[in-house]
Structure 1
Amino acid sequence: MGLVSGLLLLPLAPARGVVWVAEKLQETAERELYDPGVVRAQLAALNRELDEGLIDIDEFEAEEEKLLDRLYAAQARSGTRYGR
């Protein structure tokens, strides 16, 4: 970047910084959302809640479906496939 363009674009630096931070936060959130280990731990916790009677079978099945969808999406993103 040249001196003139650097000076002209200087007022936009804070906005570019905010955009960069937002992109990094989004990347981190997606990585955690689609982390197979996190999803498996949530599935295990969901099973414990069902076993302990904290949730009923309908609530369990609804949450399980959401978690399994996230797990399959994570596997698709990473290129690994396991039986459904």
Structure 2
Amino acid sequence: MGLLSSILTLPLAPVRGVIWLGQIIQDEVERQQNDPATMRRELEEIDEATARGQLSEEERAQAQQAVLDRMMRPSGGTAPPDGKG
């Protein structure tokens, strides 16, 4: 039965490979986004943009909150922090 199922599912091998590659890429992106150094750099860039006048105080607060929300999200979670997703 193993040989027969292998032959029948062989055309799906490229699809499985693409799904696997997509998962690897997603894991790496999440790892980089949740890196403390990346988050600190983003907060510094927000402060610099505010100092240059590119962001209002309200935009600054929203941007900082988005970074902080990402910081507080459980590792590996892709759902929004409000739990709707």
TM-score after normalising by structure 2: 0.75
- Alignment of 1:31 with 2:31, yes or no, is yes
In structure 1, the partner of 2:75 is: 77
Structure 1 CA distance for aligned equivalents of residues 37 and 70 of structure 2: 11
Structure 2 CA distance for aligned equivalents of residues 15 and 52 of structure 1: 48
- Alignment of 1:19 with 2:39, yes or no, is no
Aligned residues: 76
- Going by fraction, where is helix more abundant, 1 or 2? 1
- Structure 1: 5+ residue stretches without partners: 79-84
Structure with more contact order per residue of length (Cα contacts < 8 Å, sep ≥ 6): 1
Structural mapping, 1:37-56, within 5 Å: 37-56=37-56
| Shift >4 Å, 4+ stretches | none
